[in-house]
Structure formats: C-alpha cells, structure tokens
Structure 1
Amino acid sequence: MDGQVILEEPIDGATFRRVLGHYPTGVCVITAIEPGGKPTAMVVGSFTSVSLDPPLVAFFPDRGSSSWPRIQRAGKFCVNVLGSHQQDLCRRFAAKSDDKFADLEFRVSTLGSPVLNDVIAWVDCTLEAVHDAGDHLIVLGRVRELDVERGDAPLLFLRGTYGSFSALL
C-alpha cells in the first residue's frame, strides 16, 4: 500500500513514554462514591472531550488501577479539573491510601459524585461505555452537568513534572 509504514519491531515502552512526554496534558481527579457510600478517586492526565451530540468525554485508566474498579461500580463519576494551585491535592489523590478523602472538604454533585473544592471546572457524568485499549481502558462518560468554578491556570503535566499555562490575552 502506498504511504503505509509497517513497523518490523515493537516500539520500546521507555522510548514511547519519553517521546509522548513532550506533549503536555491537563491533570484531573476522577471522583465517585462507591456503593456503600465511601468516596473514591484517581488522578488522570488523559482526559478529553469526545462528542458534542451526545455530550461525551473520555479518560484512560490503566488496567492495573485499584481505583478504577471502584469508580466503575458507582456507574457515575465527576471529572475535577485541577488548577495550578492544586499540586498538593494531585499528589494526595495519586498516592496509595485507604482514605484519600480524610479531612478533605467537598460537595456532592446532583448525580452524587464528589466535586472537589477550588477546582478549575467539573464535569459530572454517567458511565456510558468501557472499551479495551491495550494496557489501558477507554472510559466514555455521558455528560449530565458541568461548570467552570475559577478562571485560574490549569495544572499541567509535562516531561515528568507539574507546571501551568498562562495565556496572553
């Protein structure tokens, strides 16, 4: 086939990560309340809009995530877009812990998922579909409610470190 490149050898994982690490991502905390009432969460740098009609978003949890199955069982989740001022909150939710919500104030969305205080924006979703994607999953959420809380700079992740973006207006 003209123009098609077929790779003879697999791409090395370290090279793949290094090259794609040059593309900045936003940082979000996906929250839910497990059946039984316990809040749960996971940090993702792989969140994107998918469709306007119907309104769909996606994120890509690792198959080995211990938090994803708890969020999946809830059947709904809230995407909390972190601001550059929330690196400590990001680290809190990225760490292994039995209670990531200990002494943390938040409100509950209309659907019943935690909305973290001081986030840039939040997107409340019901679980639409989950698809296999190699060592990750593609999670589609149907947006039911969303809002912007602050106009601050978002928290970004680039080449293994956190930073922010400030646009000149």
Structure 2
Amino acid sequence: MSDTKFAETAAALSAGLKSAMRRMPGAVALITTRDPANDQPAGLAASAVIPVSMDPPSMLIAINTSASAHAAIERAGRYCVNLLGTTHTDLVGLFSNSALRDHRFASGEWAYQDGIPYLPGACSSIFCEVRTTLVHGTHELFIGEVYDVRGGSGEAGNPLGWLEGDFAQLGRLSG
C-alpha cells in the first residue's frame, strides 16, 4: 500500500472511530492532582475513565500527552477521578478550556485530601496512586490503584454523561 493510500485509510478509520464513539455514552469526570513541581492543583475534563479491576481496586484514565495536566499527573503519581453530576456542567467548560486554567479551582467547591483537590459534591471521588502506565499514540494510559473513595452528597443530581458531542443525563430506565 502506498504512503498516500495508507494515510487516507488511517484518516478514514480515525474519522469513522470518532463518529462511532460519539454514539457511545460515557461518564464525564474531572481528573485532578497536585503538581509537585509548583505545588499547584491541576486537572482536566475526561470521559476516558474505566474501572479496571476490583481486586486490586483500580481505575484507568487516558490522558492526551499534550494536556497540561498530563505532566502534573506523571510527576505526582496520584490522581482523583471526580465523577460529575448534572449540576456540574459549568465546571466541564472550565476544565476543557486551557485559557481558563487559572480559574479551575477558584470556586469554593473544592476540598483537599493528601493535597489533591476533590469535589465533595461529585457523584463520587476516587483517589488513585499510579501503578502502571502505557503510552499509545497521542495518549498515556495511567492505571491507578484506588486508595480511597468518597461518595457525593447527593447534590450532584443524576450522573453526567457525554453523547454525540454534548451533555447527557445518565440514569436508570424505569420499568
């Protein structure tokens, strides 16, 4: 296969996968840490969050290596997965826009455990220590062993999801 044909095929596959994944609902989370390089909180919005195992309890996050929080997570070796509720849509914009980075932790909604910021009003906050990493393409996968879980206050509303490029409310089907 020629280089041009390969590039066209790769681009088509990438576009097809992106389109397919827009149809797969996923939870929206804020991944937070404290960067030991400057002793400042860091974070980003993510939907690539997966429970890996219950024994040992562990979570996987996929972070673009160009994201500012990537290096902070790498240096800290710890992170918190804050699973958002429908009342947190405003925070997603703050954590998705690099121009707003300095405003992410400005609200009084944040608390700290072991120096790591977490959102007490989240559906859940899951604290992890990095055990394994793998770089693949544009992202690094961090598998962290869970060392604490904090349940939300119930003020978060229903779990916040992402579907077809927009927010979705995740909930149980009645019946």
The reply on whether 1:141 has 2:140 as its aligned counterpart is: no
Counterpart-to-counterpart distance in 2, 1:164 and 1:91: 17
Q: Which residue of 2 aligns with 1:32?
A: 33
Q: Which residue of 1 aligns with 2:73?
A: 71
Which residue type is aligned with residue 73 of structure 2? Answer: I
Give SS of 2:93's match.
Answer: helix
Deviation at 1:104, TM superposition (A): 3.8
Q: Which residue of 2 aligns with 1:90?
A: 92
The reply on whether 1:102 has 2:102 as its aligned counterpart is: no
The reply on whether 1:161 has 2:157 as its aligned counterpart is: no
Q: Which residue of 2 aligns with 1:46?
A: 48
Instruction: Provide structure 1 residue ranges, at least 5 long, that are not aligned to the other structure.
Output: 1-8
Give SS of 1:70's match.
Answer: helix
Q: Which residue of 1 aligns with 2:119?
A: 116
Number of aligned positions between the proteins: 160
CA RMSD of aligned residues (A): 1.6
Structure with greater proportional helix content:
2
Give SS of 1:125's match.
Answer: strand
Counterpart-to-counterpart distance in 2, 1:105 and 1:88: 12
Instruction: Provide structure 2 residue ranges, at least 5 long, that are not aligned to the other structure.
Output: 1-8
Counterpart-to-counterpart distance in 1, 2:92 and 2:107: 15
TM-score scaled by structure 2?
Answer: 0.84
Which residue type is aligned with residue 137 of structure 1? Answer: E
Counterpart-to-counterpart distance in 1, 2:71 and 2:120: 24
Deviation at 1:81, TM superposition (A): 0.4
Classify 1:68/1:128 alpha carbon distance in 2 versus 1 (closer, same or farther; 3 Å).
same
Counterpart-to-counterpart distance in 2, 1:159 and 1:49: 22
Alpha-carbon displacement from aligned partner over 1:67-94 (angstroms, at most 9, x marks no partner): 2111221111111000011100111111
Q: Which residue of 2 aligns with 1:16?
A: 17
Alpha-carbon displacement from aligned partner over 1:107-153 (angstroms, at most 9, x marks no partner): 112x3311114110010111112102222111101100002214531
Which residue type is aligned with residue 105 of structure 2? Answer: F
Farther-moved stretch of structure 1 (150-159 vs 120-129): 150-159
Which residue type is aligned with residue 165 of structure 1? Answer: L
Q: Which residue of 2 aligns with 1:58?
A: 60
Which residue type is aligned with residue 149 of structure 1? Answer: G
Counterpart-to-counterpart distance in 2, 1:91 and 1:79: 17
TM-score scaled by structure 1?
Answer: 0.87
Give SS of 2:43's match.
Answer: strand
- Cα pair 2:127 2:148 within 8 Å, conserved: yes
